Structure 1
Amino acid sequence: MAIFFRPHGFHLHAIAARLGALAAVLLAAGCAQLGAPPYAADYEALDRLEANNPGKVAVAKVQPTDPNDKINTLSLRRAKLVSPSGTFAQYLEDALMRDLSEIAVYDPKAPTRIAARIVVNELDLGVINGTGRMDVEVTVTRDAAQKLRKTYRGEIAFDSSYANIVAVPAGQAAYPRLVRALLRQVYADPQFVAAIAAAAQ
């Protein structure tokens, strides 16, 4: 069983506070572009996936790769949320590869390959509550034979506000949670687990 470092809660709160302060300064200055925070793994979900004895897997280029595709464009009212990876498809790909590397099953040369296409990627800043939704079609193949094709949905809710100075940083900070919620659904699905199981390879 792999041992992971789990950040302390106070450290995460401090990061969120700094993001909020930075976003407030940028909004006040008229800057309309904010970066999505780095992805952080859901280690409980990874522990459960590892316990199911997954085999080695590769990850195909997550789609859509076009930076101008609507999937790769997120608006937070007057601000624009951008991916530190260039696109939100690449953000998801990096998250997936990092997670699989954490449990030592990522191998770019493995015959079992995970491909993903984002079909919904949304953040909605309500006047009281904000929401996020991500739908991703996941395909697993082994030696070119399809083992799984299924669409998964991740959803989150977070505190928002009528005031942009509060709502926009909240939406910015929520994006990694949305990706974690999506991947949590994938890793917990028995069909996905069966498709990448070591015993099936």
Structure 2
Amino acid sequence: MFALRRILLFVPVAALAACSVVAPPYSASVDNIQALKNASPVATRLGAFTNDAADGDHSSVQLRANSMRSPVGDSFAQYLSSALQQELTIGGALSPDAKVELSGVLLKNNVDANIGTATGTISARFIVKRGAEVRYDSVKTATTQWDSSFAAAIAIPRATQEYPLIVQKLLASLYADPAFMQAIH
């Protein structure tokens, strides 16, 4: 009887330990928007953003025993596309009838909520085309670190809060590339 009570107590705790969380919605970076406005006039439209099949489908990110899912579509490639759409729209650089198209491939998407120091890395290939001509093709990577806790109840929410900031950093590196800005002019 005592063993049964232990099992009944352990099952809900184990179920809670392996929950799925949703990444916070992307919030456009003021610095990124200003970079786009400073490069004005630029105009582009968004093409497809896909996942690199070699690195998995990027439908979720493991955070210890939890998994984090994208709030946009069914993958983090769509999250990245949505982030770009927000910033390009606010920055006045998105036009559905632009001759220049920006597309991409999410190559790496990892958040490691280690005890002590957690890290996050995002890598994507960005491609700018005018018609069939490729004007820009480059891989950008953003990595960041933050303090993390032993307690998952603290570490997991902190890791999910950091995720949009990693995406902001990735897009900042894209906008800081003069070749990219020239390609979307």
Other-structure match for 1:170 = 158
Give the drift of 1:118: 0.7
How far apart, in 2, do the equivalents of 1:153 and 1:72 lie? 19
Question: Partners in 2 of 1:27 and 1:195 — Cα distance?
Answer: 51
1:83 pairs with one of 43, 61, 70: 70
Q: Cα 1:81–1:131, aligned 2, differ >3 Å: closer, same or farther? A: same
Q: Percent identity?
A: 27
Distance in 1 (alpha carbons) for counterparts of 2:43 and 2:14: 44
Question: How many residue pairs get matched?
Answer: 171
Structure 2 CA distance for partners of 1:184 and 1:84, relative to 1, 3 Å = same
Do structure 1's residue 64 and structure 2's residue 51 form an aligned pair? yes
User: Contact 1:49 / 1:188 at 8 angstroms: preserved in 2?
Assistant: no
Deviation of 1:31 (Å): 5.6
Q: Is the partner of 1:105 in helix, strand or coil?
A: coil
- In the alignment, does 2:107 pair up with 1:137? no
The 3 A distance-change label for structure 1 pair 88 and 27 is farther
Q: What's the TM-score, normalizing by structure 1?
A: 0.79
Q: Give the distance between the partners of 1:163 and 1:70, measured in 2 at CA.
A: 29
Give yes or no for contact 1:54–1:193 (8 Å, CA) kept in 2: no
Give, in whole Å, the separation in 1 of the partners of 2:87 and 2:52.
Answer: 21
Per the alignment, residue 111 of structure 1 pairs with: 99
Runs of 4+ in 1 over 3 A off after TM superposition: 26-31
Amino acid at match of 1:44: D
1:153 deviates by 0.7
CA shift, 1:50, in A, is: 1.3
Question: Measured at CA, do residues 141 and 27 of structure 1 come closer, stay the same or move farther in structure 2, by a change above 3 Å?
Answer: farther
TM-score by length of 2: 0.85
SS of the residue corresponding to residue 37 of structure 1 reads coil
Supply the RMSD in Å over aligned alpha carbons: 2.1
Partner secondary structure for residue 51 of structure 2: coil
CA spacing shift, 1:37–1:181, aligned 2, 3 Å: same
Using the TM superposition, give the Cα deviation of residue 70 of structure 1 relative to its aligned residue in structure 2, in angstroms: 3.8
Which stretches in structure 2 are left out of the alignment for 5+ residues?
Answer: 1-12
Residues 1:30 and 1:133: Cα distance change in structure 2 (over 3 Å): closer
CA contact (8 A) 1:65 1:90 kept: no
Match of 1:161 among 149, 154, 157: 149
More strand by share: 2
Instruction: In structure 2, give the amino acid aligned to 1:131.
Output: T
Matched, 1:48 2:35: yes
| Structure 2 residue 172 is matched with structure 1 residue 184 | yes
Query: 1:30 deviation in Å?
Result: 4.4
